Every structure is written in structure tokens, then in C-alpha cells.
């Protein structure tokens, strides 16, 4: 597929600088793009590379220095480039129907234009929407439901009665609706508390590989619209994750915790249970959250504190041995002075 620079600009809502008729047939980086390709500049740190790139055109922010290159100016070049990747390289998956080797239980409802690969299992009472793709090893447990335009990659499990919305993508090996971690003490042993709730994943959510979201003990663990969850994330039972959140790899969220909208948790953040985090909170990697957090903050550390304070504290850590040495010297000098003063007093 080839498009003129002008056609691409119109598709993106940008403006052309230079030859709008130049043909673009692909995309590339500033370093590697060649003739017939479009590259992009999103970080001003790399602006000097525009002068040396071999790309036929550059996508950049309004007012950037083109160095005489053909260009498209756009208010958000990073987002625009992502849309071009979709335009040039993302093709709809073929619709192959229910293939031999797939198991669909009697009474399960299957929508139109689906693909169910060999080795996938659709249990009794399951509802599958239109244009759904179920890759090998996917298991839809009894009573679960999947909306329209959903892709479940290999070995995804959707447990009993859990509900998946529209346009959801779930990557390999993820489990939705495993039992919550609930046990009652029984002397020196533990009695398993039945987990009879469900998980609801709302529209436009994407979940990475090998992530686990536990079903609620009684009601609903909910992932709200538009949230993106990375690989290797654990979300405990009865949690509610707000809209358009970003949860990065290896985050652990304990049960009954609520995240507001547009919360960002960096890699390996640990969140205690039964707390609330307000809207627009950003928490840096490897932080520990033990209590409620008010909205509109940037935090880091263990326990979390304002990010700037954490940076100052972190800068002090390498200097602690030097501080200790200085403190020991001062303590010795103070002791000597006290001894001299005591001697004069006698």
C-alpha cells in the first residue's frame, strides 16, 4: 500500500510541509528509514537526526525544523505515528469459523464472523459475540461471556460466569476469574472461603501475558473501560480498577482496593488491600502503597511520598557511609570537648 504525503496528512489531521505528492509505502526510525518511508520525531532530544535521516518525509510537532525535508506537522506526532502503524501494518484477522479440533459445547452461543482455533474450548452456557478470535488453548468456562471484536490469545482462561466486554485483547496465558486468595483460620490450619463472585472486564481493555485477575468473594472484581494492564500483574479479589488506568508489569494489588480513573502504577508497585487511590495518581516503579491516596499526585518510594522528596532521599542514600563517618568524628570531638569542660569545672 502506498499513499501520498498529502493523503496521510489528511488521514491524521496534520499539515504538509514540502512535496505533498511524494509516495510513502512504509514507516521507519530516524536512523534506519529510507526512500519511500516516513519517520517521526516525538522527542526533541533527537531533533538533530532529522538532518541526516534518509526518510522521504518526517512526522513532527508543529514548528519543528525540517532541515529541508518533506514533513507532516501534527500536534501529537507520537500518537499520529501509532495510528500510521495501524494503517500500514495492521490487517483484520481472517474469519475462519469454528475449525476442526475446537470444542463448542451444546447450547453455547457463537456470534458471526468468528475464528475458533483447534484446541480452544467453549463451555456450556457460554456466549461469544461477533468477530471474536479464540486461539488454541483458550478455555471459556461455563456461563462466561465474551463481547464483540475480542481477541483471546493462546491459553487464556475465562473462568465461570466472568464477563468480557467489547474490543478487549487478552494475551497468552492470562487467567480471568481464578479464585481469590481467601482463607479463614481454623486452628493451626486454614479453611478455604468459597469465592462465588465474578470478574467483569469492560470495553476497550487490553491485558498482557501471564496476568491473573481474581474473582470476587461475593460480588464483582471490575476492570473499567479503556484500562491497559501489562504482563505478570496480580489483581486481587473485589478490586475495582478505574477507567483508562495503566498498570505496568509485576504490579501486585491486594484485595478490595479501588483505583480511580487514569491511575498509573509503575513496574513492581505493591498496593495493600482495602485502600482507595484517587484519580490521576502516578506512582513510580518499586513503590509501596499502604494507605489511601488523594487524587492528582505523583508519588514514589517505600512508603510512597511526593516524587520530588523521594528523589532527594534517593540522592542521599549513596552518601550515608560518608555521613556516618562524619557523625562518628563529630561524636568523638564532642565527647572530647565535654571531657575538657568537665575537667575545668573541677
Can 237 be counted among the known catalytic residues? yes
Residues facing residue 60 across a β-bridge:
73
Burial of 260 per CB tally in 10 Å (0-12, 13-18, 19+)? buried
Q: Name residues whose C-beta falls within 8 Å of residue 162's C-beta, 6 or more positions apart in sequence.
A: 141, 144, 145, 176, 177, 198, 199, 200, 201, 215
Cα gap 313→150, rounded to integer Å: 45
Three cell numbers written together for 3 = 499513499
Q: How far apart are alpha carbons 311 and 305 in whole angstroms?
A: 10
Give the angle 166-168-173 at the CA atoms, nearest 5°: 140
Q: Cβ atoms within 10 A of the Cβ of 133, count?
A: 22
d(CA 85, CA 330): 63
Of the residues 237, 262, 274, 307, only one is catalytic, namely 237
Q: Between β-strands 264-265 and 246-247, what pairing exists: parallel, antiparallel or unpaired? A: parallel
Point out the residues that are catalytic: 237
Amino acid at each position: 500500500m502506498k499513499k501520498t504525503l498529502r493523503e496521510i496528512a489528511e488521514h491524521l489531521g496534520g499539515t504538509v510541509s514540502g512535496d505533498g505528492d511524494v509516495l510513502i509505502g512504509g514507516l521507519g526510525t530516524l536512523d534506519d528509514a529510507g526512500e519511500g518511508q516516513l519517520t517521526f520525531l516525538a522527542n526533541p532530544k533527537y531533533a538533530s537526526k532529522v538532518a541526516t535521516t534518509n526518510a522521504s518525509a518526517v512526522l513532527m510537532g508543529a514548528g519543528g525544523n525540517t532541515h529541508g525535508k518533506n514533513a507532516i506537522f501534527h500536534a501529537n506526532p507520537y500518537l499520529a505515528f501509532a495510528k500510521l502503524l495501524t494503517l500500514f501494518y495492521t490487517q483484520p484477522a481472517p474469519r475462519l469459523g469454528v475449525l476442526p479440533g475446537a470444542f463448542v459445547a451444546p447450547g453455547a452461543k457463537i456470534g458471526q464472523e468468528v475464528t475458533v482455533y483447534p484446541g480452544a474450548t467453549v463451555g456450556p452456557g457460554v456466549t461469544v459475540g461477533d468477530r471474536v478470535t479464540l486461539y488454541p488453548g483458550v478455555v471459556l468456562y461455563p456461563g462466561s461471556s465474551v463481547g464483540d471484536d475480542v481477541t483471546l490469545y493462546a491459553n487464556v482462561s475465562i473462568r465461570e460466569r466472568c464477563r468480557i466486554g467489547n474490543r478487549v485483547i487478552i494475551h497468552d496465558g492470562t487467567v480471568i476469574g481464578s479464585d481469590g486468595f481467601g482463607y479463614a483460620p481454623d486452628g493451626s490450619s486454614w479453611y478455604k472461603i468459597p469465592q462465588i463472585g465474578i470478574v467483569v472486564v469492560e470495553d476497550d481493555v487490553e491485558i498482557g501475558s501471564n496476568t491473573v485477575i481474581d474473582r470476587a468473594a461475593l460480588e464483582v472484581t471490575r476492570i473499567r473501560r479503556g484500562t491497559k494492564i501489562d504482563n505478570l500483574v496480580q489483581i486481587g479479589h473485589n478490586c475495582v480498577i478505574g477507567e483508562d488506568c495503566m498498570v505496568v508489569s509485576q504490579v501486585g494489588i491486594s484485595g478490595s482496593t479501588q483505583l480511580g480513573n487514569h491511575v498509573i502504577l509503575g513496574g513492581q508497585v505493591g498496593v495493600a488491600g482495602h485502600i482507595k487511590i484517587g484519580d490521576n495518581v502516578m506512582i513510580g516503579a518499586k513503590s509501596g502503597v499502604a494507605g489511601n491516596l488523594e487524587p492528582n499526585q505523583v508519588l514514589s518510594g517505600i512508603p510512597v511520598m511526593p516524587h520530588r522528596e523521594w528523589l532527594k532521599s534517593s540522592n542521599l542514600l549513596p552518601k550515608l557511609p560518608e555521613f556516618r563517618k562524619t557523625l562518628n568524628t563529630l561524636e568523638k570531638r564532642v565527647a572530647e570537648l565535654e571531657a575538657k569542660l568537665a575537667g575545668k569545672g573541677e
